[in-house]
Amino acid sequence: MPDFDQIRQQFPILQQTENGQPLVYLDNGATSQKPLKVIETIERYYRVQNANVHRGVYGLSERATELYEGAREKVRGFLNAKSTKEIVFVRGVTEAVNLVAQSWARTFLKAGDEVLITEMEHHSNIVPWQLLREQIGIRLRVLPMNDKGEVCLGAMADMVNEHTKLVSVTHMSNALGTINDVKRMCEIAHSVGAKFMADGAQATAHLKVDVQDIDCDFYALSGHKMYGPTGIGVLYAKEELLEAMPPYQGGGDMIYSVTFDSTEFNVLPYKFEAGTPNIAGGIGLGAAVDFLQELGMDKVAAYEDELLHYATNQLKQIEGLRIIGEAERKGGVISFIIDDIHPHDMATLMDQDGICVRASHHCAMPVMQHFKVPSTVRASFGVYNNFDDIDRLIASIEESKEMLL
């Protein structure tokens, strides 16, 4: 097992204080902090490696291209994709879902076809399908969850039918921590000939992901939630699907040749990467992948599971506190409310103790509607968190509770 206390030293931001208190960062579900490996990789690129990629015949450009494409290969290995042709760089999961909706689904779906999502989805996996419904008349169906925050696979098997063309679900809920059995869900989707997409925004920092084992058709990730930079993410898609899909955007680098009469598009994956890319972001994402691979995803998952169980047991001792979402299989996310205290008030007071937690609907309003709450306080863990962080979290909750009641 890696020395996770030593890992904490690799994150400069965690060495500072907040309101005179040592910083405890527990908002990893929103974005993660960045290790020196990532920060220095991005700094080095801008300091001595900066050039545009794919276009220059001079050495600096060729070296930048090698670094950028090297990062693509790192992501391919991280996800166990068959080829780098299946790794499309995007801004994040939001753009990836929109790309699938506007390129694949808008091309191959028609009025009356069904897209199935779950009740626990982030808005990024709801709104693009609503837009598509307005555009071409698809039907959007929602697989419900129970009060533990779990979806029933039996109910999913009953809901899919010959009209189901895509099932798109979160791998790990950002609001509840629920880890869905995406492999089994993919099997159910494929049993009726539907495609399957997983939103991996939360999962890839916490779980080992193997897209070939899942057999998913699409998988999306966001770099900033897995210790990488903001503004960079990945859409994985099976090569044959990407070949059949039209470009999502037009412009430079996604073309092979252009005349005023027609355009011949570039090969995969560049057909979907119009314009100068986020080069530093891509290279930084590669460094984040290195960081996680060196730790070992199985060990990351095991350590964070220890944190989750310790925090859950401690929180349950607090009178009036209710955990929202108690799925049997969860990642390092705990959402909770306290009787007669608004989550925003709680989080504001906790900030005075140097504790960073999120209080909101977490861009998952249907989840809040299911549990009949306006918002929750959410503590979400990363590899640099430890048991002392949890003890300080508990103490701050108790202190804030006394002040607010």
Say how far apart CA 385 and CA 1 lie, in whole Å: 15
Say how far apart CA 91 and CA 249 lie, in whole Å: 13
Count other C-beta atoms under 10 Å from residue 170's C-beta. 28
**If you ran DSSP here, which 8-state letter would residue 180 be given?**
P
Say how far apart CA 389 and CA 385 lie, in whole Å: 6
Percent of the chain surpassing pLDDT 70: 100
- What is the DSSP secondary-structure string of 321-349? EEEE---SSB-SEEEEEETTB-HHHHHHH
* Contact present, 305 and 321 (Cβ < 8 Å): no
Count other C-beta atoms under 10 Å from residue 317's C-beta. 9
C-alpha of 279 from chain center: 20
Say how far apart CA 335 and CA 299 lie, in whole Å: 24
Relative to beta strand 114-118, strand 139-143 is parallel
* Contact present, 385 and 379 (Cβ < 8 Å): no
- What is the DSSP secondary-structure string of 237-257? E-HHHHHHSPPSS-STTSEEE
Count other C-beta atoms under 10 Å from residue 59's C-beta. 9
Q: Which residues face 360 on adjacent strands?
A: 376
Question: What's the average model confidence in pLDDT over 359-384?
Answer: 96
State the residue for tokens 């309003």.
365
**Residue 404 — pLDDT band, cuts 50, 70, 90?**
very high
State the residue for tokens 């009469």.
261
User: What integer pLDDT is reported at residue 356 of this predicted model?
Assistant: 97
**pLDDT, tens digit (0-9, with 9 covering 90-100), for 298-343:** 999 999 999 999 999 999 999 999 999 999 999 999 999 999 999 9
Q: Show the tokens assigned to 349.
A: 């007071």
**Residue 138 — pLDDT band, cuts 50, 70, 90?**
very high
Query: Helix 387-404 vs helix 297-315: angle between axes, to the nearest 10 degrees?
Result: 30
User: What integer pLDDT is reported at residue 13 of this predicted model?
Assistant: 97
User: Average pLDDT of the chain?
Assistant: 96
Clarify whether 363 is annotated catalytic.
yes
Nearest residue to 249 via CA among 99, 371, 390: 99
Least confident of 48-57, 86-95, 205-214, 325-334: 48-57
User: What integer pLDDT is reported at residue 3 of this predicted model?
Assistant: 80
Torsion angle, CA of 209/214/218/220, rounded to 10 degrees?
A: -20
Say how far apart CA 365 and CA 96 lie, in whole Å: 21
Nearest residue to 234 via CA among 38, 49, 73, 61: 73
**Catalytic entry in 152, 186, 216, 363:** 363
Q: Which residues face 321 on adjacent strands?
A: 338
| Amino acid (one-letter) located at 208 | K
At 309, phi and psi to the nearest 5?
-65, -40
Count other C-beta atoms under 10 Å from residue 313's C-beta. 10
51 pLDDT exceeds 70?
yes
User: What integer pLDDT is reported at residue 4 of this predicted model?
Assistant: 75
Question: What's the average model confidence in pLDDT over 242-271?
Answer: 93
Domains with residue ranges and CATH for the chain: 4-30+297-404 (3.90.1150.10), 39-294 (3.40.640.10)
Nearest residue to 113 via CA among 122, 124, 101, 125: 101
User: What integer pLDDT is reported at residue 405 of this predicted model?
Assistant: 79
Question: What's the average model confidence in pLDDT over 284-290?
Answer: 98
User: What integer pLDDT is reported at residue 5 of this predicted model?
Assistant: 76
Please give the helix or strand (H or E) that residue 102 lies within, else none: none
Query: Helix 343-351 vs helix 387-404: angle between axes, to the nearest 10 degrees?
Result: 120
238 pLDDT exceeds 70?
yes
1 pLDDT exceeds 80?
no
57 pLDDT exceeds 70?
yes
Nearest residue to 400 via CA among 334, 360, 352, 356: 352
Under DSSP, is residue 265 helix (H, G, I), strand (E, B) or coil?
strand
**pLDDT, tens digit (0-9, with 9 covering 90-100), for 118-137:** 999 999 999 999 999 999 99
- What is the DSSP secondary-structure string of 146-175? -TTS-B-HHHHHHH--TTEEEEEEESB-TT
* Contact present, 397 and 207 (Cβ < 8 Å): no
* Contact present, 93 and 222 (Cβ < 8 Å): yes
* Beta strand extents in 160-241 (DSSP E only): 164-170, 195-199, 218-222, 233-237
Question: What's the average model confidence in pLDDT over 177-188?
Answer: 98
